[in-house]
Amino acid sequence: MTTATWTSDEIMTVAAARALGDGMSCFVGIGLPSTAANLARRTHAPDLWMIYESGTLGTVPAHLPLSIGDGVLAESADTVVSVPEVFNLWLQAGRIDVGFLGAAQIDRYANINTTVIGDYDHPKVRLPGAGGAPEIAASCGEVVIIVRHSARAFVDRVDFVTSVGHGSGRGPSERESLGLRGRGPTRVITDLGVLEPDPVTRELVLTGVHPGVDVDRVRAATGWDLKVADDLAATPEPTATELSVLRSLTGTKAHR
C-alpha cells in the first residue's frame, strides 16, 4: 500500500480543474472555485476565459485573487466592464459556458445555500450571502460546484435556497418552468468524490470516488440516503505537474 503524496483538498481541486475544458468561458467564484479555475488555465486549459463578477473579462492573474476586488484581476484582464454589463450582457444573455461555485450547504437537488444557517430571521450563522451566485446558477450553460464533503454541508434540505440547482425534484423540466436558462449543476466535486444529477429525477448520485475513499465514507458524510452509480468511477491521482502548479498557486509545500 502506498502513502498518498497529496491532500484531500488537493485532489478535490485537481478534479475540479479537470472539469474545465480549454476554450471555455468560465464565471469564477472566489475561494476553491478560483483556485481550481486558475489551476486549469495553468495546466491543460491555457485558453480558459475567466470572468469574475467585478467585471473583469479574460483575466489571467499572476496569483490567486483575495477577492473579486483584487487589483490583479483588473490588471491582467482583456477588458473591464461594469457589473451591470457583465451580468446583463454576458451572463443573462447566455454567453458564458460554465459557472464555478462553492457552497456552505447543498441538498440532494444541488440547491445552494450561502445566506444563513438556521432560521432566516434568527440564524445560527449569518453567511456571506448571495453575491452573483443566483444569477450564475440561473444563466450559465452549466454549473460546477466545489465543496468539502460533510453531513453539515450535504443536507437533505438547505436552510435557505440562495441559488437554485434542480429545484424540488420535479424532474428535468423544472428549471425551464422556473425560467432558468442553463442546465444547472452538472457536477458536484468534493474532497471525497464526484456527484452528478440523475437524468430523470435530478437527484445527486455518487458517480466517482477519489483514491482511498470508499462508498460508506461518502454516505456517512451525506445528509440523505445517497444513491450510487452502478459504474462508479475512480478519480485518477493528481499528476506531478498538477500538484506542482497547484502548490505554487497556494503557497503550500509537498505533503508527506
How far is C-alpha 7 from the chain's CA centre?
Answer: 18
DSSP 40-109: HHHTT-TT-EEEETTTEES---SS--SSTT-HHHHHT-SEE--HHHIIIIIITTT--SEEEE--SEE-TT
Annotation marks residue 75 as catalytic: no
The answer to whether the CB of 20 falls within 8 A of the CB of 46 is no
Buried b vs exposed e over 124-144: b needs ≥16 C-beta within 10 Å? eeebeebbbbbbbbbbbbbbb
Whether 82 contacts 53, CB under 8 Å: no
Q: Which of 53, 135, 203, 242 is catalytic?
A: 53
Residue 64 CB-density burial (10 A; 0-12 exposed, 13-18 middle, 19+ buried): middle
Beta carbons within 8 Å of 121's beta carbon, 6+ residues apart: none
Task: Centre a 10 Å sphere on the Cβ of residue 121 and count the other Cβ atoms it contains.
Answer: 6
DSSP strand E in the chain: where?
25-28, 49-52, 56-57, 79-80, 98-101, 105-106, 112-113, 116-118, 123-126, 142-146, 185-189, 193-197, 204-209, 227-234
Q: Which residues are catalytic?
A: 53
